[in-house]
């Protein structure tokens, strides 16, 4: 068969067509086969009441204006799925914005920021309203997918710092480091261990006098890179799900925390007793040992409010059970402890022993409460009771079942629930990914369900105790996800009795505070290993200035109560626990502030002194504020000298009242019996008389310590019954107090709320007012006394504190110089 010959011109045209077609096929094949998929060009967009929906070549995008300073970014290479989050409870507010189209970009603008949306190669650039760059997708990389992994790449700014990200080891400034969020049982972790127990994918970027926050709400394993192994970008990625993040721009870090907790919720006011000292061990048992510990605390005049029971209180480690030989009558025991001023907290793990005679297991089977494999069989893992099944807390019916089980503890007089092992932890620490989670009707696997497991367990425990008791519950969790603050406090897991580990714990708590978690603590003294007497003493001092103050030790270490390290350590520990209880009005007011604003109780200096480079120095990064007034400088116990940095302002040595200028570094001679503590000039600190527990009524005078300064300052004093929800209906007592140096006045506003204060009188103590000749309260002259006793009762001739008493009422104190 012969092939017809074509004229040369037609042959040339055919070749051109074939060549072009081949090139097109090659181009399409290259796009489809490229291992990194980017959104591509903007194809179309639609404005809606809260933002704009965008279609690109390879992605669906939704930009939502939540408020003038908060814009949400959702993106997927498929259609966007249902809008569901365990972390976010806040709703978008009606916010005015403008959407302008130019040839090469869209501009979405609010009163606080503008977002430039590039058309040709889709990317985002966040600017101030006057065009100053805040944050942008890295040109050429922007956002992309590698298989199911989704990533966002952000340009590294000159001098940019990164803080937060929750429970992460390392330095305060995370520049140059990378981290993974995958809730992990990290027994005896070190200063380099990552990941740890909890995942909070929220961080704050700082550069050129500006601050922004990014909350990446994705519960798959997430990874954050702040310029590690590269000098071009920071990035965040997830192993599945959407690119779903909230961009927050506010003038101060404190405002970013407020905006973040507007999204994820704030801590409800905890019960007052949970702020007191808690004594714990793995384990106090039998009942006679529990009572011995409680009675010894009282005999030795060591204030305390809580005894915590670890796993040995249970019958064969079965949760919701008691060892009847060791604890024959739990309700009677908790009642005896309550008479001594102690509340009881018990550990509750998620694993339910597979035992046909175990009522909790049987009821769980009836409610179809447990996690299953894809073939429908129950997943079983091995922990303390042996082989166990695990409740699926992402299922509403399971949460209801758990709430009913938890109620049994409330009926036995238990006041606190300690959720442990909830990462989920199993022997072998390798939970299979083919386990199914209900995810509230959106069936998924362990890959998406793991990081929110502890959050939903804490939610279930909180609701169960609240419904059963009608009181504010105390829930403590080892693991969690963003939003955990709505239900629980968190502690930093199984730490070690080591000097540097103590300071690591301080940084972990500061970082959690930067991530929306105000109620935090660490095992004082170290969980594993045995501390030296000096280390124990220093740790107890620091513990007195942490939100959750719990002493805890493992079963294979020595007893670690304050009296077990000798008389000197006992006195040091008692002094600082005493101080914490005298500061309880200040501490409770600080917790109320946290519940109202999202500002943590324990605050990295980066919150108030964000753009002072010294606070990020490795010499000073462990320092923190405790509430508004106190600067805490933690040092290891084995050093004779330490470097301290005092930020801007003026500062008073807590013990000597010596006044120091700010913006200076100094060398301190360290003493084991004194933790370096400074008070910010202008501070107003409410205190009370000494008590042995929060159940004990203090004397009827509220002590108000005022520290002289050149700047006006205000403080909010807050009081309620400490245990119920009556405060939500106005049954509280709140008063604003102001120091106005230019007017030489201390002002007490009229109180707010229906609650009557427990204090009838105010004893005012003036620090640094050496030139004051007389005092008038509401125009009437008041007698002055001179007090020369320090905070620990020591007499010092150089101290010169003026003291006077007024009624607990609104009014104005005039200082006459």
The set of residues, in sequence order, having a beta carbon less than 8 Å from that of 778 and lying 6+ positions away, is 811, 812
332 CB-near residues (< 8 Å, 6+ apart): none
Rounded Cα distance between 335 and 557, Å, is 30
Q: Are strands 278-281 and 548-551 parallel, antiparallel or unpaired?
A: parallel
In angstroms, the Cα distances linking 441 to 369, 392, 397, 436, 593 are: 14, 12, 11, 11, 36
Q: Which residues pair with 778 in a beta bridge?
A: none
3-state secondary structure 528-590: ECCCCHHHHHHHHHHHCCCCEEEECCCCCCCCCCHHHHCHHHHHHHHHHHHHHHHCHHHHHHH
Catalytic residues: 420, 423, 494
Query: For residues 363-382, b (16+ Cβ closer than 10 Å) or e, as one string?
Result: ebeebebbbbeeeeebbbbe
Query: What contacts 251, CB < 8 A, 6 or more positions away?
Result: 211
Closest CA to 421 of 86, 182, 184: 184
Phi, psi of 625 (to 5 degrees): -90, 140
- The whole-angstrom separation of Cα 604 and Cα 797 is 35
- What DSSP designation does 510 have? H
Backbone torsions φ then ψ of 313, nearest 5 degrees: -75, -15
Q: HSE of 809 in the Cβ direction (CA atoms, 13 Å)?
A: 5
C-alpha 34: how far from chain center = 41
> Does residue 283 have a cis peptide bond before it, meaning omega lies within 30 degrees of 0?
yes
CB 155 within 8 A of CB 140: no
What is the CB neighbour count within 10 angstroms for residue 266?
Answer: 21
CB of 121 closer than 8 Å to CB of 41: yes
Of 640, 641, 639, 607, nearest in space to 623 by CA: 607
* Locus of tokens 């429970």: 167
Peptide bond preceding 608: is omega within 30 degrees of 0, i.e. cis? no
């Amino acid at each position: 068969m012969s092939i017809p010959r074509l004229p040369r011109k037609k042959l040339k045209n055919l070749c051109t067509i074939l060549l072009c077609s081949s090139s097109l096929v090659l181009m399409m094949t290259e796009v489809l086969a490229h291992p990194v998929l980017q959104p591509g060009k903007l194809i179309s967009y639609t404005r809606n009441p809260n933002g704009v929906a965008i279609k690109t070549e390879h992605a669906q995008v939704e930009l939502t204006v939540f408020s003038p300073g908060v814009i949400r970014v959702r993106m997927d290479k498929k259609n966007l799925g249902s809008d569901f989050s365990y972390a976010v409870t806040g709703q978008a507010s009606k916010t005015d914005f403008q959407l302008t189209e130019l040839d090469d970009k869209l501009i979405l603008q609010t009163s606080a920021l503008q977002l430039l949306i590039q058309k040709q190669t889709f990317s985002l650039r966040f600017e101030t309203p006057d065009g100053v760059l805040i944050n942008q997708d890295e040109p050429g990389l922007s956002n992309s997918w590698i298989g199911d992994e989704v990533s966002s790449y952000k340009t590294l700014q000159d001098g940019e710092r990164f803080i937060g990200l929750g429970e992460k080891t390392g330095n305060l400034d995370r520049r140059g480091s990378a981290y993974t969020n995958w809730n992990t049982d990290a027994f005896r972790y070190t200063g380099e261990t990552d990941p740890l127990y909890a995942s909070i994918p929220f961080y704050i970027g700082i550069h050129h006098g500006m601050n922004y926050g990014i909350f990446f709400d994705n519960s798959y394993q997430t990874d954050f890179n702040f310029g590690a192994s590269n000098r071009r970008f920071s990035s965040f990625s997830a192993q599945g799900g959407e690119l779903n993040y909230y961009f927050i721009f506010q003038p101060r870090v404190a405002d970013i925390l407020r905006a973040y907790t507007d999204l994820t919720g704030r801590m409800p006011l905890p019960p007052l007793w949970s702020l007191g000292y808690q004594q714990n061990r793995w384990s106090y048992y039998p009942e006679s040992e529990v009572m011995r510990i409680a009675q010894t605390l009282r005999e030795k005049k060591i204030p305390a409010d809580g005894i915590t029971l670890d796993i040995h209180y249970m019958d064969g480690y079965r949760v919701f059970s008691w060892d009847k030989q060791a604890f024959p009558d739990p309700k009677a025991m908790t009642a005896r402890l309550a008479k001594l001023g102690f509340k009881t907290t018990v550990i509750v793990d998620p694993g339910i022993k597979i035992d046909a005679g175990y009522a909790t297991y049987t009821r769980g089977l009836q409610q179809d409460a447990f996690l299953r494999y894809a073939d429908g069989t129950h997943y079983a893992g091995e922990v303390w009771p042996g082989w166990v099944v695990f409740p699926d807390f992402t299922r509403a019916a399971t949460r209801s079942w758990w709430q009913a089980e938890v109620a049994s503890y409330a009926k036995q007089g238990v006041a606190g629930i300690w959720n442990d092992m909830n990462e989920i932890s199993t022997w072998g620490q390798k939970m299979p990914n083919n386990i199914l989670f209900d995810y509230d009707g959106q069936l998924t696997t362990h890959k998406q369900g793991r990081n929110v497991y502890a959050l939903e367990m804490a939610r279930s425990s909180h609701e169960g105790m609240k419904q059963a008791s009608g009181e504010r519950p105390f829930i403590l969790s080892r693991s969690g996800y963003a939003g955990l603050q709505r239900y629980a406090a968190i502690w930093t897991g199984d730490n070690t009795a080591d000097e540097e580990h103590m300071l690591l714990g301080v940084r972990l708590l500061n970082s959690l505070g930067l991530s929306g978690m105000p109620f935090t603590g660490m095992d004082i003294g170290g969980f594993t290993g045995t501390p030296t007497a000096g280390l124990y003493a220093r740790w107890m001092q620091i513990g007195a200035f942490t939100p959750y103050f719990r002493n805890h030790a493992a079963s294979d270490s020595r007893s670690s109560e304050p009296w077990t390290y000798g008389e000197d350590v006992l006195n040091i520990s008692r002094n600082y626990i005493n101080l914490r209880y005298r500061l309880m009005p200040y501490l409770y007011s600080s917790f109320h502030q946290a519940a109202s604003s999202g500002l943590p109780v324990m605050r990295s200096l980066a919150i108030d002194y964000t753009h002072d480079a010294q606070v990020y120095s490795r010499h000073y990064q462990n320092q923190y504020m405790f509430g508004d007034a106190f600067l805490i400088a933690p040092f290891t116990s084995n050093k004779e000298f330490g470097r301290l940095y005092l930020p801007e302002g003026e500062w008073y040595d807590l013990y000597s009242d010596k006044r120091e200028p700010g913006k200076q570094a100094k060398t301190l001679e360290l003493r084991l019996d004194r933790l370096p503590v400074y008070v910010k000039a202008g501070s107003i600190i409410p205190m009370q008389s000494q008590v042995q527990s929060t159940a004990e009524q203090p004397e009827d005078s509220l002590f108000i310590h005022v520290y002289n300064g050149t700047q006006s300052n205000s403080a909010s004093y807050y009081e309620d019954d400490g245990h119920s929800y009556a405060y939500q209906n106005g049954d509280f007592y709140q008063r604003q107090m102001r120091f106005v140096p230019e007017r030489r006045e201390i002002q007490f506003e009229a109180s707010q709320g229906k609650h009557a204060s427990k204090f009838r009188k105010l004893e005012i103590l003036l620090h640094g007012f050496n030139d004051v000749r007389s005092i008038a309260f509401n125009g009437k002259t008041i007698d002055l006394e001179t007090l020369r006793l320090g905070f620990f009762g020591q007499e010092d001739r150089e101290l010169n504190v003026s003291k006077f008493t007024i009624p607990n009422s609104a009014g104005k104190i005039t200082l006459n110089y």
